[in-house]
Amino acid sequence: MKKFWLCLLSVFILVVIPFNWLSNVQAQLSSHPEISDEGGAAHSSHGTHGGEKWEGSAQGVAYSEFNHHFAGLFVLLFGFAELGHALRYPLPSWTRLVLPSALGVIGTYLLVWSDHEAWPIGSLSFVQTFSGQDLEMLQHKFYGLFALTAAVSETLRRIGWARHPAWAAPLLFFGFTGALLLFVHSHGNHPANHTIELHHALLGSLGVGAAISNAMVSWAAGASTHPVKRWEVAWAGFLIVIGIQLLLYFE
């Protein structure tokens, strides 16, 4: 167990912190007028705010960063809850519902507030929002649907109403699919798009690790020769690092 935590701490020190430092340096370089404004007129945006470009504006950056930090807080919350159960701490039974509850909050938030222009809070209709004309917006909404679907299945599974192993599939499938989508998730012609893509690449890599660990929990549970606990701890560890990375996210 000590070796696992040393490995997790090493990943955080050697990967996450330097990654964020490097991203910050690149963001500062890209914001330099001689560099970032090259062909500035060609920068387009999927939205405007008060007649001005939304992507890359102070309001747009603050809105996007808040969304990531909000999600990170809840991921960190259910990551620690999952870790407590993985380590067999005597936690109250209701803490098993922290994960689906947090996913429900994240999913609802993304469906409503992920994009300032999108339905239901923005000027775009339901059809325009889900038409696929703006892939960034569409991916945000699908992340919301993914989270809500997994929240429902995990709630039913954890309260004992759904006992078949297939009920674990939504969290596995949507977790893995969501992680892979991060590798192609783009914020359009955002001035700091390269930094954003680096963040998403790291989050995608961590998400794949979490999905594999979760899959191994299900597989190991049916194989007595393979201990479940180590995969449960790995699953929780990846969630915690993802939560930290989301809290450190910047544009």
- pLDDT tens readout for residues 235-247: 999 999 999 999 9
Q: Which of 5-9, 96-100, 155-159 has the lowest mean pLDDT?
A: 5-9
Question: Which token pair is 52?
Answer: 């001005």
C-alpha span between 45 and 51 (Å, rounded): 12
Q: Band of the pLDDT at 227, cuts 50, 70, 90? A: low
Q: Which of 174, 181, 215 is nearest to 197 (CA)?
A: 181
pLDDT at 165 over 60: yes
Q: How far is CA 186 from CA 59, 189, 226, in A?
A: 18, 8, 39
The confidence band for 222, taking pLDDT boundaries of 50, 70 and 90, is low
Contact 210, 245 (CB under 8 A): no
**What pLDDT shows up at residue 194?**
84
3-state secondary structure (DSSP) of residue 116: coil
Share the mean pLDDT of the chain: 82
The pLDDT of residue 76 is 96
The per-residue pLDDT for 192 is 78
Least reliable range by pLDDT among 29-43, 87-101, 146-160, 217-231: 29-43
Considering the chain, what percentage of its residues have pLDDT values greater than 70?
A: 76
The reported pLDDT for the residue numbered 47 is: 56
CB atoms under 10 Å from CB of 73, counted, come to: 15
Please tell me the distance from the alpha carbon of residue 184 to that of residue 135, in angstroms, as a whole number: 10
Three-state DSSP at 182 gives: coil
Residue with tokens 């309001």: 59
The residue with greater pLDDT, 108 or 8, is 108
What token pair was written down for 186?
Answer: 């783009």
Instruction: Return the percentage of the chain with pLDDT > 90, whole number.
Output: 59
Q: Is 118 exposed, middle or buried (0-12, 13-18, 19+ CB in 10 A)?
A: buried
pTM of the model: 0.79
pLDDT top residue among 133 and 234: 234
Let me know if 156 is exposed, middle or buried by CB neighbors in 10 A (0-12, 13-18, 19+). middle
| Strand (E) or helix (H) holding 17 | helix 17-30
pLDDT tens-digit series, residues 48-107: 544 457 777 889 899 999 999 999 999 999 999 999 999 999 999 999 999 999 999 999
The candidate with the shortest Cα–Cα distance to 23, out of 13, 33, 12, 15, is 15
Pick the closest to residue 119 from 149, 127, 132, 52 (CA basis): 127
- Measured between its terminal Cα atoms, the distance across the chain in Å is 36
What is residue 16's predicted lDDT score, i.e. its pLDDT? 54
